[in-house]
């Protein structure tokens, strides 16, 4: 852009460079603001703040566009594979056949977890939420892989990245098997990343498990659609945790904890629970009225987004995939009819139209995951599994950035001013 942004604060003028990216809004570089004016900016929730420079993912929320390294998400979801998208996110370019084979092979060969880690599970109750298990077990990885926690060594960073992407499906599958009281199933190296995960999750050791290509394909697509999403809450958490120099396993555990919240990754579980609670289309108006009522904390789960003020492009892909997958699997879930009807009613309602609230990625994913056989409490685990590559790519980008500093936001202080301590018998 070139022009500086001019600020006049208390009659003291100052100027700030305006910086342009390759696409998207310009940013005003205010790094010198405090030194020049003694004032901070105030932006709770980061609604107008770019916290970093990144070349991984681009979102145009008004147009409903999502690009990974420049490639539109719908093209990746329809034509690519999760392993290929993972390579793309990490390395910036689509792999050649040889590069993809090598990468897939490396990931496959890191899927096993330390046998002692399996013992760790026994400390959890069988009815623990699997996201609670994920937070604990992924955090514990740093206690098992000391040889890849030096973040200043690019080789160790690479190995830690591969380990995280490879072991997350194993840990997620173990969390599920543990909850249903079945033994853990080891990975099998001749299967794809996604096929392997399905087998480790659903196989019963007394029988052969055949990966259903329809399910494998649907699952892989869901993984692609969740792989990265720019500087969302959990990714920003990973970056902030990593900015102190914390090891990558600890940082990803922090991201998982953040993702769990119902306003973020926890919304897929909440959305399906909501659709089931609605039950039949005739109850939709009651729930729409609740969502619009300011005195009721209820929100339409799977609706609305901080960035998308148009259709979430991921929801578009999943809406179509939900019908395809259910048809192919020969399943008929009335929840899908409720979801479609709810979407139609909400999209015509002035409340949702005026606030630009559209279905997000979580609205239809649950219908597919449920058809595949996952219980709702596993939905956010699947999101965490897929998002791990995005977190790892963003963490690596941050560590390699020469401008990187520890993240340290400031505040608008509204507490008591200085006062003297009063002994307890005088209060
Ligand atoms: N149902 C009813 N009203 C809503 C909804 C909803 N789902 N979402 C936003 N609103 C209203 C909200 O009450 C507010 O109204 P007003 O301006 O009158 O106070 C207005 O729309 C703006 O909402 P906001 O909460 O200020 O917007 P935000 O950008 O802070 O929140 C959100 C975004 C995703 C947290 C929110 O839309 C929401 O809670 N949605 C439901 C949960 C959900 O589906 N989350 C998944 C997000 S996509 C996947 C992911 O990122 O993990």
Query: Would you list the domain boundaries of the chain?
Result: 4-50, 82-403
- Which among 46, 304, 345, 346 is the best mutation to test ligand 1's pocket, defined by most ligand atoms within 8 Å of the CB? 304
CB under 8 Å to 54, separation ≥6 — which residues?
A: 230, 231, 394, 397
DSSP annotation string for 68-99: ETTEEHHHHHHH--HHHHHHHHHHSSPPPHHH
In the numeric block, which tokens belong to residue 358? 């559209």
In terms of CATH architecture, what is 82-403? Orthogonal Bundle (1.10)
Ligand 1 binding pocket includes 233 (Cβ within 6 Å) = no
In the reported structure, the alpha carbon of residue 86 is separated from the centroid of ligand 1 by a whole-number distance in angstroms of 29
Res 413: pLDDT: 98
114 labelled catalytic:
no
Res 288: pLDDT: 95
Q: Find how far residue 139's CA is from the centre of its chain.
A: 17
In the reported structure, the alpha carbon of residue 190 is separated from the centroid of ligand 1 by a whole-number distance in angstroms of 43
362 labelled catalytic:
yes
In the reported structure, the alpha carbon of residue 301 is separated from the centroid of ligand 1 by a whole-number distance in angstroms of 9
pLDDT in tens, 219-236: 999 999 999 999 999 999
Q: Which atom of ligand 1 is nearest to the CA of 291?
A: 2
The fraction of the chain above a pLDDT of 70, given in percent, is 100
Closest CA to 301 of 332, 333, 329, 268: 268
Ligand 1 binding pocket includes 195 (Cβ within 6 Å) = no
In the reported structure, the alpha carbon of residue 241 is separated from the centroid of ligand 1 by a whole-number distance in angstroms of 25
CA dihedral for 233, 54, 1, 36, sign (positive or negative)? positive
Angle made by CA atoms 258, 262, 268, in degrees to the nearest 5: 110
SS3 57: strand
Query: 4-50: which CATH topology?
Result: Rubrerythrin, domain 2 (2.20.28)
Q: Is the predicted pLDDT of residue 71 greater than 80, yes or no? A: yes
pLDDT in tens, 240-279: 999 999 999 999 999 999 999 999 998 898 999 999 999 9
DSSP annotation string for 267-280: HHHHHHHHHHHH-S
Closest CA to 75 of 86, 64, 63, 67: 67
Ligand 1 binding pocket includes 305 (Cβ within 6 Å) = yes
pLDDT in tens, 150-182: 999 999 999 999 999 999 999 999 999 999 999
Instruction: Kindly indicate the confidence band of residue 1, based on its pLDDT and cuts at 50, 70 and 90.
Output: low
Q: Report whether 215 contacts 202 (CB < 8 A).
A: no
Element at 174 (helix H, strand E)? helix 154-179
Residue with tokens 């009659």: 11
Selecting among 162, 229, 305, 312, the annotated active-site residue is: 305
């Amino acid at each position: 852009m070139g022009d500086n942004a001019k600020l006049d604060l208390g009659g003291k003028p100052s100027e700030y460079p305006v910086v342009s990216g390759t696409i998207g809004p310009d940013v005003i570089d205010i790094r010198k603001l405090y030194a020049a004016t003694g004032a901070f900016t105030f932006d709770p929730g980061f609604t107008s703040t770019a916290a970093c420079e990144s070349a991984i993912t681009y979102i145009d929320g008004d147009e409903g566009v999502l690009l990974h390294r420049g490639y539109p998400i719908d093209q990746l979801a329809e034509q690519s594979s999760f392993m290929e998208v993972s390579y793309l996110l990490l390395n910036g370019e689509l792999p050649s056949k040889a590069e993809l084979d090598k990468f897939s092979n490396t990931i496959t060969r890191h899927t096993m977890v330390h046998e002692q880690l399996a013992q760790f599970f026994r400390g959890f109750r069988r009815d623990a939420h699997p996201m609670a298990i994920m937070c604990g077990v992924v955090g514990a990885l740093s206690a098992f892989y000391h040889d890849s926690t030096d973040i200043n060594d690019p080789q160790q960073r690479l190995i830690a990245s591969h380990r995280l992407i490879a072991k997350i499906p194993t840990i997620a599958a173990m969390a599920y098997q543990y909850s249903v009281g079945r033994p853990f199933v080891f990975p099998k190296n001749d299967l794809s990343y996604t096929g392997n995960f399905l087998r480790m999750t659903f196989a019963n050791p007394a029988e052969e498990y055949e990966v259903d290509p329809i399910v494998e394909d649907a699952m892989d697509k869901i993984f692609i659609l969740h792989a990265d999403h720019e500087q969302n809450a959990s990714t920003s958490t990973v970056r902030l945790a990593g900015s102190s120099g914390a090891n990558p396993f600890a940082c990803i555990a922090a991201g998982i904890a953040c993702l769990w919240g119902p306003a973020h990754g926890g919304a897929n579980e909440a959305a399906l629970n909501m659709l089931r609670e609605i039950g039949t289309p005739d109850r939709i108006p009651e729930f729409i009225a609740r969502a619009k009522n300011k005195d009721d904390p209820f929100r339409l789960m799977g609706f609305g987004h901080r960035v998308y003020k148009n259709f979430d492009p991921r929801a578009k892909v999943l809406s179509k995939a939900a019908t395809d997958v259910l048809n192919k699997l020969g399943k008929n879930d009335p929840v899908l009819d409720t979801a479609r009807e709810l979407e139609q009613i909400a999209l015509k309602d002035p409340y949702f139209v005026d606030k630009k609230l559209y279905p997000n990625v979580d609205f239809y994913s649950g219908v597919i995951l449920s058809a595949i056989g996952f219980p709702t409490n596993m939905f956010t685990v699947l999101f965490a599994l897929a998002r791990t590559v995005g977190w790892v790519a963003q963490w690596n980008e941050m560590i390699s950035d020469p401008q990187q500093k520890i993240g340290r936001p400031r505040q608008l202080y509204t507490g008591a001013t200085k006062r003297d301590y009063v002994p307890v018998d005088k209060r």
